[in-house]
Structure 1
Amino acid sequence: MYTRAAASDYDDWETVYKNPGWGSKYLIPLLKKVETYQPGGSAVHGTSGPIKVSYMEGETNVADQYLAVASQYDKERGFTDDVNDFFNCNRYGELSNLTTVERRRVVRVLFENNRAVGVEHVGDAEGRVKGEVVPLKSYASRLVVLSAGAFGSPAILERYSATFLLHLTGSTVILKRSGIGAADVLKRNNIPQFVDLPGVGEHYMDHNLIFAPYIASEDADTLDDLFSGKDEELEPYATRWEKDGGGLMRHNGIDAGIKMRPNAEDLREIGPEFQPRWSAYFANAPDKPVAWIGTLAAYAGGNPTVPRGKYFSFGYYTEYPFSVGRVHITSGLDAYGKLDFEPGYLDHIYDMGVLRWGYKKSREFARRMDCYRGELKIGHPVFPAGSKAKTDESAKPVPIDAPDIEYSAEDNKAIDEFHRGNVQTSWHSIGTCAMKPREEGGVVDANLNVYGTVNLKVADCSIAPANVSANTYNTALAIGEKAAVIIAKELGISGVSEA
């Protein structure tokens, strides 16, 4: 999925977190530069970039019904288009000055004093079987840039770095090994501290995702056969795909989604506990949605007791969770060692109210869709006996103007319990090497330099100082393009434009 963050998200990066040059007026031109927006007719999208962005031809009728219901059910709420699917065209895969080494993992950064001069890395197979292997060293003539993501980049910084002297003969002598990060984390792993950066691995952010499944009519376009069918059931889909690239096999099943802001009635539903968060963060930023709600044309779950059939699911997540987590190493030398990961999902009451609203709102959308045939109970809250909100596996669609389901305080508790037991990642992990002032827990500065080091940068989604209201692919492009501009300027490389 290809969606762009709100302009105010990037403006916050620049103003709130003190990163000059990272506001929307700088990043949106870079995003236009990288795009070819194939629907056309948009002044805010690009026309000649390497990333081809288009709508999927032939959306599922599940998606069509969802969008139709949403526009009628929420008549007072304004709607605007967004991009749902993309085609990726890579024209940079075979550059003469680019060498890639696959299936290897960086153990640590190599330093001369505090200057990064290279990395040490091991092969994937050797690392996983814990065999005796001599790590390889790759040296940088000018700059080391980490792009290992929200899990990998902080782990590389924390693991033993090697400071050494390079002899004229070409041999090296390691003087000391030490890590970059918080003193207590490094001490737990028997690593002396090289640079005191308590923010490394902290402030992990994601979008807190839930999928609730519904039973679909027989005429619904769903991907259930593709997800769980036998070979003979997949054959017609594969034949169509091989013939012309068409059919359901080209779908990911998620071809409709809406970024939503609550109105006054919705805010009352979310609850008074959320009001301080709304007032401080959302009220004066009208481009910031509170939740994303979208359809998946299939059963989204792994429960083996669910019978074969046709299903669709509603996914919903918090766009800006207040809860944050952390990720740290458990080994100073093992690049394949397990990480100490605490996602922090739903640690704060603000996030509970938003997810509860997302469940109720998406359920109302589902009930009004023509393909709706009831809730699949195994993927919904367990409501108390006699509840007006009880699920029904044999229901039929209700009219657009039908009254909403009534929920009691006990029903709300059941929803919250369901969310605590089923919340999952959106695979939108960011923030663990945050770009903000060092004294505020920052790890890199506005030029992506790791504090306390020379010639070491981080350029990936781990540098995001705050969350974004989008799937993070587009944000990763923005960070990559901005990093290219910064690095080219520092190294005197011409031809890298800012727009």
Structure 2
Amino acid sequence: MPTPNIVFVHLATSKKVHLKDYKLGTLRYPENIDSTTFSAMSPTDPANVFDIIFAGGGAAACITAGRLAAADPSLKILIVEAGPHTQEDLAHVQPARFLSHMVPGSKTMKFLISQPSAKLGDGVNPRFTIVPAGQCLGGGSSVNFVMYNRGVPSEYDDWETKFQNPGWGSKDFVPLMNKSETYQADPSSKTRGRSGPLGVSFGGCFNKLPQDFLQMVQKYDKDRGISLDSSDPDHVNTYGRWAKWINQKDGRRSDVAHAFIYPQTENRNLRVLTGHFVNRVIIENGRATGIEYTPSPQLHPDAPSEPVIALASKWVVVSGGSFGSPLILERSGIGAAAILQKYGIKQVVDLPGVGERYQDHQIIAPVYRATEDSGTFDKIFKGDAEEIQKWTPQWLKDGSGMLGSNGIDAGIKYRPTEAQVKTIGPAFQTRWKEFYADHPDRSVMTMGCVSFCFGALDTAPSGSYYTIGVVFAQPSSLGHIHITSATDPGAHPDFHAGFLDNEDDLEGLVWTYKISRELARRMENYRGEYAPTHPVFPEGSAAAVTEDPTPVPIDTPDIHYTAEDDEAIRTYVRKIVMTSWHALGTCAMMPREQGGVVDSKLNVYGVKGLKVADLSIAPQNVGGNTYSTTCGIGEKAALILAEELGISGV
């Protein structure tokens, strides 16, 4: 595969150097170019004027830019990304290496630390939470868990009707999600894409644990049934294998950088600048005319720190993600007056919704011990060289084996019965009536068999583990993110995650713990509960955590929990609930008077020539992993821009 056609300027000689003249190998970013002598092009260079500039190089930006560039190669496009390149790096293309990005000092992810919240913690000491986000070309698509699990039609219909966005309902939006994908897991599916560049399959292996899980639920929870595609909106509340963003032809991660950008390296008008932060959008006389950017100190520690300007003759598209986009807007003078004044920024547009309505999925992951022969991924994910080498030849040969998987192979989009709803709690019952009851395609949680020690991989003793992980699909709590500096894009933001701010979310997660525990202890490969990842129940409780390695019979009565037991679970949830890395909503697409930031054409209110195109525009979360939704947003943005620019064939 050819090297990307990135153009740099040598500061000493002003000679342009093409990155394709250098050999990247498996480097994560162009380390072989001396960052002390190379920088972005001078703003006085005519070549630094573009038709469209993308402020951010995540999943949506790569799709939109890639589609436009392919349809009109004469269109001058610049993508400025804070993170590194991802081309042909095993850490990105090999699915089983996804956890390698979530380490201190990562160059491919950033970690957002929230303000401490009294709703989290032990009830005395407030707790903060940490939310990782992709920061590399391709964004989350290049570093996520490769989970494929889409939202359902009624959720996108809300985008159109409830939030007044014509053209964003399921009738229009689902075909755009399909456009990006080729669904290989079930050739008979009529609801999935068939000709997109992103392959979706079951991955390279199907080990004993997920097989055990599916066999068990057919006996214990047989009314919910089994389906080939449990993520299909017609099969909500059924168990099944889980598809992944993995191409079955070669076992590689299906990310947007390799699908939409790197194949166009011969297009000299499509330029990608990595390792640079977008400081702000330049706005003159009410119109966005360009951006100001600076090198990342992490990726280019010796590069000059002076800001550089790139100009856009037609559009600036902010695509910094749910964490980056609102901060770019605020540093550009777009946002709430009180926040901008605090940091000495002149307000250009009064949009108090910027940075508000942060939404995320919340997860708990109680861990269980498994039999040694159950085929868990613990050794691989811990970086065991011998185990990785064992599976490498198979992956290189045909993409199969454990390196071509993520260890998350079976699950359900779970919707409670009316009888179950009555047991969850009064706050959740109100939420159920308002949000779920009239929409039978909506699930309350996504629950799956995860074949590794999720959340405790670094602390648990060596061995084999699994979890029945639970993702709460539609929390009602909202958070926010705002700047803390007018000029420093690397400054830690004012971030409130909002986890458990509303009682219905806490009630729902308490209930989901109980459901997942009943499934886990009935599996044949169960060998006891791993106590540090479970609640501390009162002494003598019948619900006490047990390390007895014996699975319980299928017909064993469910555990009875007292009020004191429920309180122990509430404390547990407050202590351990964490993100599912599905941040959205901070530049919401909704009416301006209701706190919206962009309209249905993705235009930022009050500014010409400026759009936002990424997950931050989502006005409401979806009950599934958000990669598919991001793809749909990217495809929609490409169509909108193409129509406005008079480009056909997008």
Q: TM-score, normalised by structure 2?
A: 0.71
Q: Deviation of residue 377 (structure 1)?
A: 0.2
2:268 matched to 1:109? Answer: no
2:491 matched to 1:337? Answer: yes
2:231 matched to 1:84? Answer: no
Give the conservation status (yes or no) of the 8 Å contact 1:84–1:257. no
Give the conservation status (yes or no) of the 8 Å contact 2:372–2:464. yes
Tell me, in whole angstroms, the C-alpha distance in 1 between the residues paired with 2:627 and 2:457.
Answer: 29
Give the conservation status (yes or no) of the 8 Å contact 2:359–2:478. yes
- Partner of 1:353 in structure 2? 507
Q: Deviation of residue 105 (structure 1)?
A: 1.1
2:594 matched to 1:437? Answer: no
Tell me, in whole angstroms, the C-alpha distance in 2 between the residues paired with 1:50 and 1:303.
Answer: 34
Q: Give me the CA root mean square deviation.
A: 1.8
SS at match of 1:116: strand
1:367-409 deviation digits (Å, cap 9, x = unpaired): 1111001100011011110111111112311222210011111
1:153-211 deviation digits (Å, cap 9, x = unpaired): 0000001x3xxxxxxxxxxxxxxxxx111112112222222111111000100001111
Paired amino acid for 2:547: E
Give the conservation status (yes or no) of the 8 Å contact 1:157–1:180. yes
Give the conservation status (yes or no) of the 8 Å contact 1:213–1:313. yes
Give the conservation status (yes or no) of the 8 Å contact 2:414–2:444. yes
2:192 matched to 1:45? Answer: yes
SS at match of 1:292: strand
Tell me, in whole angstroms, the C-alpha distance in 2 between the residues paired with 1:231 and 1:409.
Answer: 47
- Partner of 1:204 in structure 2? 358
Paired amino acid for 1:142: K
Q: Deviation of residue 129 (structure 1)?
A: 5.7
Give the conservation status (yes or no) of the 8 Å contact 2:378–2:457. no
2:325 matched to 1:153? Answer: yes
Q: Pick one of 58, 62, 67 that aligns with 2:205.
A: 58
2:200 matched to 1:28? Answer: no
Paired amino acid for 2:259: N
- Partner of 2:33 in structure 1? none
Q: Deviation of residue 108 (structure 1)?
A: 0.2
1:310-358 deviation digits (Å, cap 9, x = unpaired): 1111211211101111011110001111111110101111001111111
Give the conservation status (yes or no) of the 8 Å contact 1:127–1:336. no
Tell me, in whole angstroms, the C-alpha distance in 1 between the residues paired with 2:544 and 2:450.
Answer: 23
Tell me, in whole angstroms, the C-alpha distance in 2 between the residues paired with 1:419 and 1:270.
Answer: 15
Give the conservation status (yes or no) of the 8 Å contact 1:127–1:335. no
1:435-488 deviation digits (Å, cap 9, x = unpaired): 000111100000000011001000000000001011000000010111111111
Paired amino acid for 1:86: W
Give the conservation status (yes or no) of the 8 Å contact 2:587–2:617. yes
2:240 matched to 1:93? Answer: no
Specify whether residues 420 and 50 from structure 1 end up closer, same or farther in structure 2 by C-alpha distance, changes over 3 A only.
Answer: same
Give the conservation status (yes or no) of the 8 Å contact 1:128–1:336. no
Q: Deviation of residue 305 (structure 1)?
A: 4.6
Q: Deviation of residue 59 (structure 1)?
A: 1.2
Paired amino acid for 1:155: L
Tell me, in whole angstroms, the C-alpha distance in 2 between the residues paired with 1:335 and 1:109.
Answer: 12
- Partner of 2:150 in structure 1? 4
| Percent identity over paired residues | 49
Give the conservation status (yes or no) of the 8 Å contact 2:210–2:449. yes
Give the conservation status (yes or no) of the 8 Å contact 1:105–1:121. yes
Paired amino acid for 1:122: T
1:217-269 deviation digits (Å, cap 9, x = unpaired): 12211011112254344432334434543322222111122111111232122
Tell me, in whole angstroms, the C-alpha distance in 1 between the residues paired with 2:302 and 2:155.
Answer: 43
Paired amino acid for 1:371: N
Tell me, in whole angstroms, the C-alpha distance in 2 between the residues paired with 1:28 and 1:233.
Answer: 40
* Greater mean deviation of Cα atoms: 62-71 or 2-11: 62-71
Tell me, in whole angstroms, the C-alpha distance in 2 between the residues paired with 1:123 and 1:494.
Answer: 35
Counterparts of residues 398-437 of structure 1 (less than 5 Å): 398-437=552-591
Specify whether residues 339 and 78 from structure 1 end up closer, same or farther in structure 2 by C-alpha distance, changes over 3 A only.
Answer: same
- Partner of 1:167 in structure 2? none
Give the conservation status (yes or no) of the 8 Å contact 2:204–2:401. no
- Partner of 1:214 in structure 2? 368
Counterparts of residues 285-304 of structure 1 (less than 5 Å): 285-302=439-456, 304=458
Paired amino acid for 1:14: E
* Greater mean deviation of Cα atoms: 38-47 or 143-152: 38-47
Give the conservation status (yes or no) of the 8 Å contact 1:460–1:476. yes
Runs (5+) with no aligned partner, structure 2? 1-146, 232-241, 247-253
Counterparts of residues 312-391 of structure 1 (less than 5 Å): 312-391=466-545
How many residue pairs get aligned? The number is 478
Give the conservation status (yes or no) of the 8 Å contact 2:204–2:403. no
Q: TM-score, normalised by structure 1?
A: 0.92
Tell me, in whole angstroms, the C-alpha distance in 2 between the residues paired with 1:341 and 1:199.
Answer: 15
